[in-house]
């Protein structure tokens, strides 16, 4: 069955959790935690009165008066929620949820509640579709998928092939050849597929953009979110030299699609004429700017995670890069790596690894960082995807 043939009836939860309107908020929260659901329907018999979601809780709790836990849920629910018919197609449902910026839709048939559909159920179907599209691109991966459920060895082969495809199809083959810039890149997903992602953009002849992003988690779910981020970036980065505008566009495209996952990102645009790097961040670890081989400072910028808060504004900052400067971009898998007694590598150790290196090449500086990390970890394996990129200005 193709993705376009699916209906809401086939992807909905047919027996949604319901509560009466006088149920205390505290009891509703306990129910949602116990069942691990993000929404419950408030009903009076078969009649839908409203919906109570995690967003309703977050929106109201910060200004609530003492004793709010005993409020009836009818005080905090969303009344007259958007609803959907069970025979609506998958693509129409996905478009409706994206347009309305909601994560849950009650399913109504004949005036009765018959289910609830969430972005999670839609994403599950989208994952199947993306797997199918990847399989179509290589005969090797298609053969692995033919026996995926029957043979564990074929399943592992499938993941390895998908990892190679992720690197080949969704990551740059090499940095752009710009005079005066020397790049070194280390991309190490924890599993065969990873949620880390980096990319370049050239909005015009005088500007070069660099994005580094990290979808929470790892393996297949995180990789799918990273792929969605890649498509959104490719569309947005070619239209503007503003890092804040690009991150805002990614935030809009990812809103409601990542469900419980989130994406951090840092995007900088270098002007070749002035060597000014303008940048913005979305909850990502701050890159480290090295000057004179000793002075290290973070490129700090504030902005909320992508795909979580609609209409977020990403503030831009800038730094002038001098010849001899180096900048290290990285994902949190680097600083959160642990040694055998549970200590994290941390930004202090990372900063020390960057100091007193002189004007070494980007590759030599990255090698020093990796060597220090390897010596710190000992036999302890990494616990997350790790990407590190160094650019040297010469």
In this structure, are 228 and 283 located in the same domain?
Answer: yes
In this structure, are 300 and 371 located in the same domain?
Answer: yes
pLDDT, position 154 = 45
Q: How do residues 283-341 score in pLDDT, each as one tens digit?
A: 999 999 999 877 999 999 999 999 888 889 999 999 999 999 999 999 999 999 999 99
In this structure, are 234 and 102 located in the same domain?
Answer: no
pLDDT, position 250 = 92
What is the spatial distance between Cα 97 and Cα 257, in angstroms, rounded to a whole number?
A: 9
pLDDT, position 348 = 94
pLDDT, position 152 = 53
In this structure, are 207 and 336 located in the same domain?
Answer: yes
Which of 92, 124, 156 is at the close of a domain? 124
pLDDT, position 166 = 45
In this structure, are 160 and 243 located in the same domain?
Answer: no
pLDDT, position 169 = 47
Please report whether residue 129 resides in a domain. no
What is the spatial distance between Cα 233 and Cα 307, in angstroms, rounded to a whole number?
A: 13
Please report whether residue 110 resides in a domain. yes
pLDDT, position 199 = 92
In this structure, are 297 and 325 located in the same domain?
Answer: yes
In this structure, are 112 and 55 located in the same domain?
Answer: yes
pLDDT, position 276 = 97
In this structure, are 81 and 217 located in the same domain?
Answer: no
Please report whether residue 131 resides in a domain. no
In this structure, are 366 and 225 located in the same domain?
Answer: yes
What is the spatial distance between Cα 143 and Cα 134, in angstroms, rounded to a whole number?
A: 12
Q: Which domain holds residue 291?
A: 176-393
**Residue spans of the chain under pLDDT 70:** 1-5, 126-127, 129-170, 191-194, 217-223, 256-261, 356-358
Please report whether residue 209 resides in a domain. yes
Q: Count of domains in the chain?
A: 3
pLDDT, position 162 = 46
Query: The pTM is what?
Result: 0.58
In this structure, are 69 and 159 located in the same domain?
Answer: no
What is the spatial distance between Cα 196 and Cα 187, in angstroms, rounded to a whole number?
A: 8
Q: Specify the 3-state DSSP secondary structure of 39.
A: strand
Phi, psi of 264 (to 5 degrees): -100, 155
Give the rounded distance of the alpha carbon of 125 from its chain centre.
Answer: 18
Angle at alpha carbon of residue 175, lines to 169 and 176, rounded to 5°:
110
Please report whether residue 132 resides in a domain. no
In this structure, are 382 and 267 located in the same domain?
Answer: yes
pLDDT, position 140 = 62
DSSP 208-275: EEEEEEEESS-HHHHHHHHHHHHHHHHHHHTS-S-HHHHHHHHHHHHTTTSTT--EEEEEEEEETTTT
Instruction: Name residues whose C-beta falls within 8 Å of residue 42's C-beta, 6 or more positions apart in sequence.
Output: 18, 19, 20, 21, 23, 48, 49, 50, 51, 52, 73, 74, 77
CATH number, domain containing residue 54: 3.10.580.10
Angle at alpha carbon of residue 344, lines to 389 and 267, rounded to 5°:
30
In this structure, are 147 and 182 located in the same domain?
Answer: no
Q: How do residues 152-207 score in pLDDT, each as one tens digit?
A: 554 444 445 444 544 444 578 788 888 899 999 999 887 666 678 899 999 999 99
CATH number, domain containing residue 246: 3.60.40.10
pLDDT, position 158 = 44
DSSP 305-323: PBTTSTT-----EEEEPPT
Please report whether residue 130 resides in a domain. no
What is the spatial distance between Cα 104 and Cα 256, in angstroms, rounded to a whole number?
A: 10
Alpha-carbon distances, residue 325 vs 23, 98, 293, 301, 368 (angstroms): 61, 42, 8, 19, 16
């Amino acid at each position: 069955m193709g993705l376009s043939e699916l209906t809401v009836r086939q992807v909905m939860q047919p027996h949604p959790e319901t509560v009466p309107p006088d149920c205390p908020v505290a009891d509703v929260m306990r129910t949602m935690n116990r069942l691990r659901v993000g929404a419950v329907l408030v009903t009076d018999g078969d009649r839908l009165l409203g919906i109570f979601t995690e967003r309703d809780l977050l929106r109201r709790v910060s200004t609530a008066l003492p004793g709010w836990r005993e409020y009836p849920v009818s005080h905090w629910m969303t009344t007259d929620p958007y609803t959907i018919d069970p025979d609506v197609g998958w693509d129409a449902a996905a478009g409706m949820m994206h347009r309305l910026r909601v994560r849950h839709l009650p399913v109504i048939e004949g005036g009765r509640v018959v289910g609830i559909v969430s972005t999670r159920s839609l994403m599950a179907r989208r994952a199947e579709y993306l797997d199918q599209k990847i399989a179509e691109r290589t005969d090797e991966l298609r053969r692995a998928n033919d026996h995926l459920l029957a043979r564990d060895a074929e399943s592992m082969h499938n993941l390895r092939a998908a990892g190679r495809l992720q690197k080949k199809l969704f990551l740059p083959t090499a940095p752009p050849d710009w005079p005066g810039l020397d790049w070194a890149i280390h991309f190490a997903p924890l599993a065969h597929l990873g949620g880390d992602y980096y990319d370049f953009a050239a909005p015009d002849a005088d500007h070069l953009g660099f994005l580094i992003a990290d979808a929470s988690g790892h393996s297949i779910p995180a990789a799918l979110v990273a792929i969605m981020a890649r498509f959104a970036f490719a569309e947005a980065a070619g239209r503007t030299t503003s890092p804040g505008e690009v991150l805002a566009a990614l935030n809009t495209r990812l809103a409601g699609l990542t469900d419980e996952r989130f994406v951090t990102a840092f995007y900088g645009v270098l002007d070749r004429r002035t060597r000014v790097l303008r940048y913005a961040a979305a909850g990502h670890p701050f890159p480290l700017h090295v000057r004179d081989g000793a002075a290290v400072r973070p490129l700090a910028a504030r902005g909320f995670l992508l795909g979580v808060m609609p209409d977020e504004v990403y503030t831009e900052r800038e730094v002038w890069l001098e010849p001899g400067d180096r900048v290290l971009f990285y994902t949190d898998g680097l600083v959160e790596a642990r040694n055998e007694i549970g200590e994290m590598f941390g930004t202090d150790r990372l900063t020390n690894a960057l100091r007193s290196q002189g004007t070494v090449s980007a590759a030599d500086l990255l090698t020093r960082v990796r060597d220090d990390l390897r010596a710190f970890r000992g036999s302890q394996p990494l616990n997350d995807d790790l990407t590190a990129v160094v650019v040297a200005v010469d």
